[in-house]
Amino acid sequence: MRAFAALYDALDTTTSTSAKVAALAAHLRDAPAADAAWAVHLLAGGRLSRVAAPSELRDWLYRHAPWPEWLVEETAAAVGDTAETIALLMSAQPSAPDGGDDEDAADASLGLAAWIEQRLLPLRDCTRETREATVTHWWRSLDAERCFLVNKLMTGGLRVGVSRALVARAVAEVSGLDRAVVQHRMMGRWTPGAAAWHALVAPGDADADRSRPYPFFLASPLAAEESPADRLGDRRDWLAEWKWDGIRAQLVRRDGRTWLWTRGEELVTDRYPEVADAAATLPDGTVLDGELLAWDADGVMAFASLQRRIGRRRVSARLLAEVPVRLLAYDLLERHGTDLRNEPLAVRRRALETLLDAAPDALGVSPLLAAPDWPALAVARDDARARRVEGLMLKRVGSPYRVGRVRGDWWKWKLAPLTLDVVMLYAQPGRGRRANLYTDYTFGVRDGTALVPIAKAYSGLSNDEITRLDRWIRAHTTERFGPVRAVDAVQVFELAFEGIARSSRHKSGLALRFPRVVRRREDLGPDDADTLADARALLAGADEG
> End of a domain among 119, 134, 154?
154
In this prediction, residue 105 carries a pLDDT of: 52
> End of a domain among 414, 438, 470?
414
**Statement to judge: residues 122 and 250 lie in one domain:** no
Grouping H, G, I as helix, E, B as strand and the rest as coil, residue 228 is helix
CA distances from 320 to 32, 33, 275, 363 (A): 48, 45, 11, 16
In this prediction, residue 96 carries a pLDDT of: 46
In this prediction, residue 88 carries a pLDDT of: 87
Query: Domain containing 105: what range?
Result: 2-154
Report the distance separating Cα 524 and Cα 122, nearest Å.
58
In this prediction, residue 50 carries a pLDDT of: 81
In this prediction, residue 542 carries a pLDDT of: 57
CA distances from 387 to 301, 351, 364, 371, 392 (A): 9, 27, 17, 16, 12
Report the distance separating Cα 258 and Cα 276, nearest Å.
6
**Statement to judge: residues 53 and 28 lie in one domain:** yes
Residue 194 lies in a domain: no
**Statement to judge: residues 437 and 398 lie in one domain:** no
In this prediction, residue 144 carries a pLDDT of: 87
Packed helices 33-43 and 194-201: angle between N→C axes, nearest 10 degrees: 80
Backbone angles phi, psi at 419, to 5 degrees: -140, 155
Catalytic center residues? 243
Contact partners, residue 250, CB within 8 Å, separation at least 6 = 213, 214, 216, 260, 261, 287, 288, 289, 290, 333
Residue 391 lies in a domain: yes
Grouping H, G, I as helix, E, B as strand and the rest as coil, residue 511 is strand
Per run of 10 residues, the mean pLDDT along the chain (length 545 residues) is 88 88 94 94 85 87 87 78 86 51 61 92 90 92 88 80 88 91 86 91 75 93 83 94 95 96 91 96 97 94 88 87 96 97 97 96 96 93 88 96 92 90 93 77 92 90 89 93 90 90 84 90 89 88 54
Q: For the chain, how many structural domains are there in total?
A: 3
Q: Tell me, what CATH number does 308's domain have?
A: 3.30.470.30
Residue 171 lies in a domain: no
In this prediction, residue 113 carries a pLDDT of: 93
pTM: 0.76
**Statement to judge: residues 385 and 430 lie in one domain:** no
Q: Tell me, what CATH number does 117's domain have?
A: 1.10.3260.10
In this prediction, residue 545 carries a pLDDT of: 47
Report the distance separating Cα 112 and Cα 150, nearest Å.
10
Residue 433 lies in a domain: yes
Grouping H, G, I as helix, E, B as strand and the rest as coil, residue 391 is strand
In sign, the C-alpha dihedral spanning 364, 365, 369, 374 is: positive
| HEC letters along 257-325 | EEEEEECCCCECHHHCHHHHHHHCCCCCCEEEEEEEEEEECCEECCHHHHHCCCCCCCCCHHHHHHCCE
> End of a domain among 377, 394, 414?
414
**Statement to judge: residues 316 and 393 lie in one domain:** yes
